[in-house]
Structure formats: structure tokens, C-alpha cells
Amino acid sequence: MNKRNIPIELIIWVSGLLWLAFSHPEDTHFTVCPLALVGFEHCPGCGLGHSISYLLRGEWQLSWQSHPLGIFALVIILKRIFELGKNVFCSNVCSNKTEDFYPSKLLRK
């Protein structure tokens, strides 16, 4: 039996989306944006987390107002989660190699 190691990147992306799904985007929050911490009023990425959070709630208009690229970012993140999950959970099932399905002793004639 193969031991599956879940990559840390998968854990981070899933945790981040869960945090955005359960957070309240209308509340003020802590930021890790270096431009906002320095004092700039506008950052190209600011509002992206709020936009994704609104999208996960089904509030399309508020999402667009927070950041127009929120839906694009969510699609990219979901695609990455799918790729990482596929690599972890389908390593033998999704393979086209016959050796992955049958022991090598059964393939010998």
C-alpha cells in the first residue's frame, strides 16, 4: 500500500479558500500586503480576497466591485487545487501504465 503525502501547497490553498468562505468580507481585517503596510492607498491586488469571499457567497455584484479579477483568481486557484489533488489521490488510478495496475509477476509470460 502506497503512503500518500499531501503537499503543503494543497493544504495552504484549501485552507485559504475555506478561510475566505467563512470570513466576513465587509469587516476590516489584518493585511499582509506590503504596499498597504507601507502606506500606499491603492494596490493592484487589494480587494482580491474580498472578491473571492463574495464569490463564494454568491454575491456577484459585490465581488465585481471589490476586484474585477476575483472570478479569474478563483478559477486559477480551483484549477491548481484540482491538479494537486489529482496528483495525490489519483496517482495509480489515473495512470495509463499497465504496471501501475497489475503486479509485474502477472505481466510476465
The upper half-sphere exposure of residue 7, i.e. CA atoms within 13 Å in the direction of its Cβ, equals: 13
DSSP alpha helix (H) spans, the chain: 8-22, 34-38, 48-57, 60-66, 70-89, 98-101, 104-107
pTM (2 d.p.)? 0.72
Residues whose CB falls within 8 Å of the CB of residue 32, separated by 6 or more in sequence, listed in order: none
For 38-72, how does the pLDDT look when each residue is reduced to its tens digit (9 = 90+)?
Answer: 888 778 888 898 899 999 999 999 999 999 999 99
